[in-house]
Structure 1
């Protein structure tokens, strides 16, 4: 059953006024709020040395992750569309961001996007130029695919999911194969010290965190 947009009275979401220098940002935010059934908050960070603007988005959804994934798989959340021939995932998000980027001479990118649900938050960090618009649909698809495994057989929901974390193989100097689909970081409420647990998408297992690091 498709979502019905609900009142946002159960959380404190506040729209941050957008900068006039970012052309078309308000229209892009409207696409996000419509397709994700969410209230959006956006921060703009201008980097004078690179003459680029980074955007940080928070989307506040008044429903849980299980309901979200059900509707994602039914094609009724997020504006995602799966090509049955090659399983490629396209989205209105990617299309709208491409228009936003063109309107700003390709000098804009998304540094981070956080999806806040009733029971958990998914925080996705940029790992290369336009990586978030390009990979968002596939990331959500992987959340659905691995849901049973990272919730410990549907017994424990992490309250935060960080996408991605990386393995520090050399401890000091190393080369990174930047990939969203190797390791994620999870926080669980029943962890007394609230330490992060690492989830391996390849082995579908929870790992020790000592040899991993998060993106700043």
Structure 2
């Protein structure tokens, strides 16, 4: 299996070297860029699986890099920021970033965040069937070519079921994976969201296994 590709866009050479060396040790293929325009150019040719992106960059900032990269090819983005201002972070998430780490950060935390984002984006564009296409990186769902407008929780629930189509997932597993409710047995929230998903998908996609949970069926 080919190594996953990480592009680091950061103007501090000390940080670039430290992050690149650690990611290479972790088995990733790494490319780097030191300013905004170079980041966009390298992303177009390197085609990274994930972007590690500093907010403050020469040329133009990381927010603009994120906008341009996501417009050309959606990719998971982890932002590095020295700012702890909520507005800046919300803007970053609003233009397509998936997560952020505030400087200074530990390499262990950075690698853990990267792996988590890559796992989330691992669902292919056609996880269940050619008719149903789920793009986790872009958080978009198309059914027979028509985009469905899902709430964030509906999307997370559908993506969770789609990671292993045909397999029944228990309510406790879904509660922990989607809502982070460990040990909860309250299934009403799941049942409600399944109902709304069925209204948008059609009733044949999600199968109920009474007393157990739900499965996304192959059509």
Compute the TM-score of the two structures, normalised by the length of structure 1: 0.31
The structure showing larger relative contact order (alpha-carbon pairs under 8 Å, at least 6 residues apart) is: 1
Higher strand residue share: 1
Higher helix residue share: 2
Computing the radius of gyration over CA atoms, which structure comes out larger, 1 or 2?
A: 2
Compute the TM-score of the two structures, normalised by the length of structure 2: 0.31
